[in-house]
Amino acid sequence: MTDAPAWVVRAARAADLDPLLDLARALGPGMTTLPPDAAVLANKIDCSERTFAGQETDDRQHVLVLEDLADGRVLGISAVYPRIGERHGFFSYKLTKLVQRSELLGRRVDVELLTLSNDYTGATEVGSLAIRPELRGTSAGRLLARSRYMLIAAFPHLFADRVMAEMRGWQDEDGRSPFWDAIGARFFDLPFEEADRLSAVEGAGFIADLMPKQPIYTALLPEDARQAIGRAHAVSAKAMAMLMDEDFRYEAHVDVFDGGPQVHAARDKIRTVQDSRSVQVAETGAGETSPWLVSNTRLEDFRVVETRARAAAGEVAIDETARRALRVDRGAEVRIAPGRERRARADGM
């Protein structure tokens, strides 16, 4: 890693529509919060710009994009949704156990139930994490993911006490969702992809209207549907690992469409949030550098880089490229958190 950052994560703007549309097309199907639909993406960016500007909107969201500092290309996206389910509720299935015993037969039977739940209504959601295919295997995805937590750390009052994320559920090699086929398909006259798209674009009102309200006994489901409960899709493995590294945990909540796992963490216990602190930009000086995440503290023009820097009590020295990317001058307030290499060393890796 050189001293100068290669990328900046920043708030999305209207000019990003075409690059994000191109990104959506490059990703292919499965990314329901980033459909290759110009009107949907334009509305998403507009809502984000108004949210970053502090304006009230019915669909609050902070959309962040990854920009290449060398050529200005948009290479990825992530988002934070401050309060999910405000209009219709946010729906999950909660996997619970019911113990039944027959004294006559002298037998005990433990059964699992899927119960419709609104436990995450009002929580903050982190999601929509995606990078261009050619960047897979680099640190770009992790930078985008952690930038969301730097935003939360800088402006905690804008976000709920609990932060959740949901993983894409298991699908077979033909793209079939056994969980959907066993449950959702019996109550919605829609293919899985269309129902999932409607939920992302139109909201969850139709879920409340049509999903069964009574608990579902998992023993009545086909074996492949039972195996899919709480199982993330193979493409979500790295994203799931990054969430676990931030101290998110799974507590038996799953997506109502594909059965994918939903995880959560207390806002102030997210590792990047906990490890971050406010400092001032210092003069660049001599001495050993180490990797740091650095963000500015302006909501409307929020920006994050990962760069090598010299951090001391109350200040951080960053190079000119990083200062320009963050749009800060010497003496400005910024927020820092240990970069990936530095945090790995702290863990003894």
Has 88 been annotated as catalytic? Answer: no
Greatest extent of the chain over all pairs of C-alpha atoms, in Å = 81
Q: Which residues pair with 123 in a beta bridge?
A: none
Closest residue by Cα to residue 326 from 3, 5, 50, 63: 5
Q: Residue 82: CB partners within 8 Å, gap ≥ 6? A: 51, 60, 61, 62, 124, 158, 159, 160
Closest residue by Cα to residue 198 from 256, 148, 254: 256
240/263 Cα distance (integer angstroms):
9
Q: Dig out the tokens for 124 from the structure.
A: 């903050």
331/315 Cα distance (integer angstroms):
9
The answer to whether 146 touches 80, Cβ cutoff 8 Å, is: no
pLDDT digit string (tens) for the chain, length 349 residues = 456 789 999 999 999 999 999 999 888 666 777 888 899 899 999 999 999 999 987 789 999 999 999 999 999 999 999 999 888 788 899 999 988 887 787 788 889 999 999 999 999 999 999 999 899 889 999 999 999 999 999 999 999 999 999 998 998 888 788 999 999 888 877 777 777 777 666 666 667 677 788 899 999 999 999 999 999 998 888 899 999 999 999 999 999 888 999 999 999 999 999 999 999 999 776 667 899 999 999 999 999 999 999 998 899 999 999 999 999 999 999 999 999 764 544 554 3
Q: Dig out the tokens for 329 from the structure.
A: 């001058």
pLDDT at position 107, please?
A: 83
164/324 Cα distance (integer angstroms):
33
CA distances from 242 to 33, 246, 269 (A): 19, 6, 15
The catalytically annotated residue of 62, 88, 157, 233 is 233
pLDDT at position 198, please?
A: 73
